[in-house]
Amino acid sequence: MSTLWLVVLVVGAATVALKATGPVLLGGRAIPEAVAGVVELLAPVLLTALVVTQTVGGDNELVLDARLAGVGAGALAIAARAPLPAVVVVAAAATALARLVL
């Protein structure tokens, strides 16, 4: 097998397994009370990590670039209670604009 197909198949299989972790191992049964509080915090914690890494994440460094302007503009739109599609459009436009200017 070529290197390319080896990578494609191994990464595909690993990702299928990772995405199935919760639903296959824990799906369809009640969460034990002791860990319910932990699972409940997974959403805010993971979303925060996604926001941080996608806003300032770089190749082994923190990068402050046009994305920060986009997220800032998006935050203003969120504060103004703009609907989700509007937040996405505002953030993209601000990022593109900042990239032109910077």
Partner 1 sequence: MASYAPSSSLRYRDAARAAVAVAATVWFFGASFGLVARAAGMGVLAPLVMSATTFAGSAQFAVASILGGSGAALAAIAAAVLLNARYAPISISVAQLFHGPRLRRLAESQLIVDESWALAGRSGRFDRRVLLGAGLLLYVAWVSGTAVGVLAGNALGDPKDLGLDGAFPALFLALLVPQLRTRRAVVAALVSAAIALLLIPITPAGTPIVAASAACLLGLRSGR
101 binds partner 1 (CB under 8 A): no
| 5, 8, 49, 92, 102 from 70: Cα distances, Å | 37, 33, 17, 6, 13
Rounded-to-integer distance, Cα 82 and Cα 95, Å: 18
64 binds partner 1 (CB under 8 A): no
59 binds partner 1 (CB under 8 A): yes
Q: How far is the CB of 98 from partner 1 (least distance, A)?
A: 8
Q: How far is the CB of 56 from partner 1 (least distance, A)?
A: 7
Rounded-to-integer distance, Cα 44 and Cα 89, Å: 23
Q: Which of residues 15-54 bind partner 1 (CB under 8 A)?
A: 15-16, 18-28, 30-31, 34-54
